[in-house]
Chain A
Amino acid sequence: MILPRPGAIDCDMHVNVPDVRALLPYMSDYWQDQIVTRYIDRSSFAHMSYPPGSPLSGRKDWVPQDGPLKSVPGGGLADVQTNLLNHFGIGMAVCNVIHGSNSLFNEDMGAEFCTAINEWLVREWLDREPRLRASIVVHAQNPQLAVDEIERRAGDPRFVSVLLPLMGDAPLGRRIYWPVYEAAQRHRLSIAVHAGSTYRYPTTAAGFTSYQIEDYIHMSAAFENLIVSFLAEGVFQKFPDLKLICMESGFTFIPTLLWRANKTWRGVRAEVPWIDEAPAEIIRRQVRFTLQPVDAPRDEEVLRKIFRQMDCDDLLVFSSDYPHWQFDGDEALPDGLPHQLIEKILFDNPRDAFPRLDAETAATIQLAGSHS
Chain B
Amino acid sequence: MNAPFDAPSADSSARQRLMLVDCDIHPIQKPGAVAQYLSKQWRDHMMSFGGHVRQGLQQRIAWPRMMASGQRADAYPPDGGPPGSSYEMLRDQHLDPHGVEHGMLIALSKGGMEERNQDFAAALMHACNQWQKEHWVDRDPRLHAGIVVNADDVDAAVDEIKLRAKDPAFKQIILSPRTNEPLGRRRFWPIFAIAQETGLPLGLHPAAHPGGAPSTGAGWPTYYMQEHFTFSTASEAVATSLVMEGVFEEFPKVRIAMIESGLSWASILGWRMDRIWERMRAETPRLKHPPSHYLRQNFWFATQPIEEPENPQDLIDVFDWLGWDKIVYSSDYPHWDYDDPRFVFRIRLDDSKKRALFRTNAMTLYNLE
| Chain A contact residues, CB within 8 Å of chain B | 54-56, 166-174, 197, 200-214, 216-218, 220-222, 224-226, 228-229, 231-233, 250, 252-253, 255-256, 258-268, 270-272, 280, 293-297, 302, 305, 308-309, 311, 325
- Cα–Cα distance between A226 and B216 once the two chains are bound (Å): 8
Which chain A positions have C-beta within 8 A of B274?
297
Measured CA separation A171–B215 after assembly (Å): 10
Interchain nearest-CB distance for A367 vs B (Å): 38
Which 9 residue pairs are nearest across A and B when measured between Cβ atoms?
A204-B237, A205-B234, A295-B272, A221-B233, A225-B216, A256-B264, A167-B218, A202-B213, A267-B1
Across the interface, A217 reaches (CB within 8 A) one of B180, B228, B272, namely B272
- CB <8 Å contact, A212 and B181: no
Query: Within the assembled complex, what's the spacing in Å between the Cα atoms of A171 and B233?
Result: 14
Structural contact, B309 and A268, CB atoms closer than 8 A: no
Q: Are B309's CB and A166's CB within 8 A?
A: no
Question: Of A214, A217, A260, A308, which is within 8 A of B232 by CB?
Answer: A260
Q: Is B262's CB under 8 angstroms from A256's CB?
A: yes
| CA of A204 to CA of B282, assembled, Å | 22
- Give, as a whole number of angstroms, the nearest-CB distance from A219 to chain B: 9
Known A211-B244, A211-B283, A217-B269; contact A205-B237, beta-carbon cutoff 8 A: yes
Pick the residue among A213, A252, A294 that contacts B244 (CB under 8 A): A213
Q: 13 pairs across A/B with beta carbons < 8 Å?
A: A54-B280, A168-B218, A168-B219, A170-B219, A172-B218, A204-B234, A206-B238, A221-B232, A222-B217, A252-B272, A263-B308, A268-B224, A295-B268
- Which of A167, A207, A258 is within 8 Å of B180, CB to CB? A207
| A212, A293, A309 interface centre (most CB from chain B within 10 Å) | A309
Given the known interface contacts A204-B234, A206-B237, the answer about A212 and B280 at a Cβ–Cβ threshold of 8 Å is: yes
Q: Which residues of A contact B273 (CB under 8 A)?
A: 217
**A224 to B, closest residue via Cβ:** B233
List the B side residues contacting A212 at CB < 8 Å: 280, 283
B279 with A56: CB separation less than 8 A: yes
Q: How far is the CA of A74 from the CA of B162 in the complex (A)?
A: 55
Q: Are B280 and A232 in contact (CB under 8 A)?
A: no
| A264: B residues at CB distance < 8 A | 225, 228-229
Min CB distance, B168 to chain A, in Å? 32
Q: Are A224 and B229 in contact (CB under 8 A)?
A: yes
Complex alpha-carbon distance, A258 and B228, angstroms: 15
Chain B residue at smallest Cβ distance from A213? B280
CB distance from A87 to the nearest CB of B (A): 21
| A171 and B222 contact, Cβ closer than 8 Å, known pairs A212-B283, A221-B236, A309-B309 | yes
Q: Are A259 and B308 in contact (CB under 8 A)?
A: yes
Most chain B CB within a 10 A radius of its CB, from A225, A229, A264, A280 = A225
Shortest C-beta distance, A239 to chain B (Å), equals 17
The distance in angstroms between the C-alpha atoms of A231 and B226, with both chains bound, is 9
- Nearest residue, chain A, Cβ from B221: A171
CA distance in complex: A302, B271 (Å):
11
A186 to B172, CA, bound (A): 56
Give chain A residues whose Cβ lies under 8 Å from the Cβ of B308: 259, 262-263
B237: nearest residue on chain A (CB-CB)?
A: A204
Residue among A167, A206, A259 having the largest count of chain B Cβ atoms under 10 Å? A206
For A205, give its contact among B230, B265, B283 (CB under 8 Å).
Answer: B230
Q: Give the number of chain B interface residues (Cβ < 8 Å).
A: 71
A268 touches B225 (CB 8 A): yes
Residues of A within 8 A of B232 (CB): 221, 224, 260
Query: Which of B210, B216, B282, B314 contacts A171 (CB under 8 A)?
Result: B216
Q: Does B211 contact A (CB under 8 A)?
A: yes
Which A residues lie within 8 Å of B223 (CB)?
Answer: 232-233, 268, 271-272
With A259-B310, A262-B310 already in contact, the answer to whether A218 and B217 are too (CB < 8 A) is yes
B101 close to chain A: CB less than 8 A: no
- Cβ-based interface call for B185 (8 A): yes
CB contacts (< 8 Å) of A270 on chain B: these are: 66
Nearest CB in chain A to that of B245: its residue: A210
> Which residues, 235 to 268 on B, are CB-close (under 8 Å) to A?
236-238, 240-241, 244-245, 262, 264-265, 268
List B contacts of A216 (CB < 8 A): 276, 280
Residue in A200, A258, A309 whose beta carbon sits within 8 Å of that of B219 in the complex: A200
Residues of B within 8 A of A325 (CB): 279
A263 (CB) vs chain B CBs: closest residue: B308
* Least Cβ–Cβ distance between A323 and chain B, in angstroms: 13
The reply to whether B226 and A228 form a contact with Cβ atoms under 8 Å apart is: yes
A209 to B276, CA, bound (A): 16
Check B240 against A214 for contact (C-beta < 8 Å). Answer: yes
Residues of B within 8 A of A271 (CB): 66, 223-225
Judge if B350 is at the interface, Cβ distance under 8 Å. Answer: no
Provide the residues of chain A in CB contact with B177, threshold 8 Å: 205-206
CB within 8 Å for A206 and B244 given contacts A224-B229, A225-B218, A259-B307: no
Q: Is B369 an interface residue (CB 8 A)?
A: no
User: Are A210 and B307 CB-contacts (below 8 A) given A170-B219, A205-B237?
Assistant: no
Contact B271 A203 (CB under 8 A): no
Flag if B233 contacts A170 (CB, 8 Å): no
